[in-house]
Amino acid sequence: MAPLPNMFEQAKISHQLFHQNAPDLVGRFNLTQEQAKAIVATCPTCQQHALPTLSEGANLRGLNSCKVWQTDITHFLQFGKQKYVHVSVDIFSGAVYASTHTGKKSWDAIKHLFQAFSFMDILKALKTDNRPAYKSKELRSFLQQWGVEHKKGISHSPTSQAVVERTHREFLKQ
């Protein structure tokens, strides 16, 4: 007899079969609300029936998961050489992918996006700030190859990247 997958995997399998809502997944599989919401939000069948939602401020959410991500880089000095943490957030589901790197150049951003694609799927649009790594020809070419629209935030505006900035604060708390 094959071993059962962990509770999160069991919840994903169950949702694929029965399409339970997030509160039911929390109760049945002892998941956090965020985990359960991510399972429901990434289900293509459930997305067809979901009501569109608006988020706070100027950061409108995509109408499906993997449509719009916000990406940014933050620094955690306690990580040593790998102190640059590249973070991507799916602004519909709130799913987060973070990876540590030794730099914040365009190649590091591209490597992070490759990893994020394998974890969260390929997105439709990427929203970033205007740091040099995100303005480079290399990143622009990479995004064009994958068919990803690149949207740049408003320079020096703390709210243009509010979703990913909130995620940074959550990382710092832990």
SS3 label, residue 109: helix
Contacts of 113 (CB under 8 A, 6+ apart): 71, 88, 126, 142
User: What are the two backbone dihedrals, phi and then psi, of residue 53, each rounded to the nearest 5 degrees?
Assistant: -120, 155
Residues 17-63: pLDDT tens digits? 988 888 888 888 988 888 888 888 888 888 776 654 444 344 445 55
pLDDT value, residue 143: 92
Virtual torsion, Cα 98, 101, 105, 110, nearest 10 deg: -50
Look at phi and psi of residue 18 and say left if phi exceeds 0, alpha if psi is from -120 to 50, else beta. Answer: alpha
Q: What is the pLDDT of residue 154?
A: 61
Number of H helices, E strands in the chain: 8, 5
- Could you tell me which of 75, 90, 91 has the C-alpha nearest to residue 172? 75
pLDDT of residue 75: 78
CATH number listed for the domain at residues 7-49:
1.10.10.200
Identical fold at 7-49 and 68-173?
Answer: no
Ranges of each domain in the chain: 7-49, 68-173
Q: CATH number of 68-173: 1.10.730.10, 3.40.718.10, 3.30.420.10, 2.30.30.140?
A: 3.30.420.10
The CA-atom distances, in angstroms, between 107 and each of 66, 67, 100 are 22, 23, 13
Look at residue 39 and give its three-state secondary structure.
helix
pLDDT digits (tens, 9 = 90+) for 50-104: 654 444 344 445 555 657 888 888 877 778 888 888 888 888 777 888 888 998 8
Q: Indicate the pTM of the whole model.
A: 0.57
pLDDT tens digit sequence for 124-153: 888 888 788 888 999 999 999 988 998 877
CA end-to-end span of the chain: 39
> In this predicted structure, what is the pLDDT of residue 53?
46
Model confidence at 168: pLDDT above 70: no
Q: Which of 111, 20, 28 is nearest to 73 (CA)?
A: 111
Rg (CA), the chain: 17
